[in-house]
Amino acid sequence: RPSPAAAPDRLPFSRITQEDLAFFRKILPGRAVTDPDLLESSNVDWLKSVKGSSELLLRPQTTEEVSQILKYCNSRNLAVNPQGGNTGLVGGSVPVYDEIILSTALMNNILTFDSISGILTCQAGCVLENLSLYLEDRDYIMPLDLGAKGSCHIGGNVATNAGGLRLLRYGSLRGTVLGLEVVLADGRVLDCLSTLRKDNTGYDLKQLFIGSEGTLGVITSVSILCPRKPKSVNVVFLGCETFEQLLKTFQLSRGMLGEILSAFEFLDSECMRLLNTHLKLRNPISDCPFYVVIETSGSDSTHDGEKLHNFLEKAMTSSLVTDGTVATEDSKIKALWSMRERVTEALTHDGFTYKYDISLPVERIYQLVTDMREHLGGRAKSVVGYGHVGDGNLHLNVTSPVKDPALLAAIEPFVYEWTASCNGSISAEHGLGLKKRNYIYYSKPSQAVALMGNIKAMLDPKGILNPYKTLPDDLK
């Protein structure tokens, strides 16, 4: 097994020549970028934790252009890094060396929307928030929502199989994505852009590309099933004394809110401290060790309000929650949601952030935070826990004033061993990218990883698509 923390060696891909540049300038007039200042932000990830040295950024507008790019790169053995909004959190979205960056930023057209079925088809570079706004005007919503919505692209969401804040209600992209158009490494266009809810004709090939992090093909268009916009939305922000009480509150909410429960998220008091300190966000309730954000979405405000009232009364009288506030109007709903959504941003102001995105049996999720705090003692600046309780998904984050290899060595593999001992997953929703690929064996058996290697070799025999990502080094 390779040393997980070691930087991979550059693989023997070709280097870009003047002839290559001339080709790209010809097929993408004005959209083959070589200016180092313009390339700077595409070479660095959102967390500013990894940096590549690409000298070429390509900005295609059509599937045909993506196809021409990949056909050429494959024949010339040039490596390519597909990039959407560059909000990925595992170092998958930026080059490691001089891979060509293929950005979907200009592939941002909505293709069709069927207002009877709620099925949207669009190009991969549509920004998630723009799609949400488009749909809201038509009484629909996107089935996913995440803190990065203002920048991330739907193609990037699909490529990472992003989870987010609505998964509890609308399920994962593996269910809501109905079809994909993908350009394969050699330039062939795979048209699986179905808009059917049901289609059992053979293998469901689109699933291969959902969560493949740019290693198997470039997603160029997406068709997705969208839910109706709920007529009534309520958000409550509650405080709990213990994580056990928080779990009981979750159980109670599932029983009493039933089909209108659309999110159940949590953050701990350390997150609240960072929100206060770095973003000046004030705690809307009294100080507690744990906070939850519960959202209900339904079609009848009286019915939903009644259910929520009964739930809150029961939670308060059984002393599961110690304090809380309710929002029904838009601005307060947004303000309460930002207490959860902006934790990621607050962490970036606290220092260099080591991020872990773990799936566990829900009753174990906070134990990992407690154990990590004890394990690290005074070595970390902050150790915080937040995440998607409804999905059994913990975000454990550790900060330090500067990048600290000794601290990293104390966290890893401890965190992965702990996770594997509970049969958890070392990546619930962010993917493996560059940072976590060599830890894949903690969550997948060798046979499964070997089969992934076979699929990669079949679809991308020269390995030009997002090299050094997702698959472990020992498969190369």
Binding site for ligand FAD (CB under 6 A): 46, 81-89, 92-93, 104, 124, 146-148, 152-153, 155-157, 159-160, 162-164, 213-214, 218-219, 344, 429-430, 433, 466, 469
Which residues in the 367-426 window bind ligand MLT by CB under 6 A? Answer: 395
The SS3 assignment for 40 reads helix
Q: For 318-381, give the DSSP string.
A: TTS-SEEEEE-SHHHHHHHHHHHHTHHHHHHHHSEEEEEEEE--GGGHHHHHHHHHHHHGGGSS
Which of 314-348 are b and which e, b meaning 16 or more Cβ less than 10 Å from the residue's Cβ? Answer: bbeeeebbbbbebbeeeeebebbbbbbbbbbebbb
Helices 414-421, 365-376: crossing angle, 10 deg rounding? 150
Q: Terminal CA-to-CA distance of the chain, rounded, Å?
A: 12
- Residue 400 binding partner per list ligand MLT, ligand FAD, none, with a CB distance cut-off of 5 to 8 Å that depends on partner kind: none
Q: Closer CB to ligand FAD, residue 54 or residue 81? A: 81
- Which residue matches tokens 């606290």? 350
- Per rule CB under 6 A, is residue 87 in the interface with ligand MLT? no
Shortest separation between residue 419's beta carbon and ligand FAD, angstroms: 17
Shortest separation between residue 93's beta carbon and ligand FAD, angstroms: 3
Q: Closer CB to ligand FAD, residue 87 or residue 176? A: 87
Shortest separation between residue 212's beta carbon and ligand FAD, angstroms: 7
- Residue 83 binding partner per list ligand FAD, ligand MLT, none, with a CB distance cut-off of 5 to 8 Å that depends on partner kind: ligand FAD
Shortest separation between residue 184's beta carbon and ligand FAD, angstroms: 11
H-run or E-run covering 18: helix 18-27
Query: What does the alpha-carbon distance between residue 52 and residue 45 come to, in Å, rounded to a whole number?
Result: 9
Q: Which residues, other chains included, contact 25 with Cβ-Cβ below 8 Å and sequence gap of 6+?
A: 32
- Per rule CB under 6 A, is residue 433 in the interface with ligand MLT? no
- Per rule CB under 6 A, is residue 344 in the interface with ligand MLT? yes
- Residue 308 binding partner per list ligand MLT, ligand FAD, none, with a CB distance cut-off of 5 to 8 Å that depends on partner kind: none
What single letter denotes the amino acid at residue 462?
A: K
- Per rule CB under 6 A, is residue 92 in the interface with ligand MLT? no
Give the other-Cβ count within 10 Å of 5's Cβ: 12
Q: Closer CB to ligand FAD, residue 20 or residue 429? A: 429
Q: Closer CB to ligand MLT, residue 56 or residue 384? A: 384
Shortest separation between residue 434's beta carbon and ligand MLT, angstroms: 17
Sheet with 393-400: strands ordered across: 323-327, 232-240, 290-298, 261-268, 382-388, 393-400, 352-359
Shortest separation between residue 462's beta carbon and ligand MLT, angstroms: 33
**What residues make contact with ligand MLT under the rule CB under 6 A?**
147, 344, 357, 395
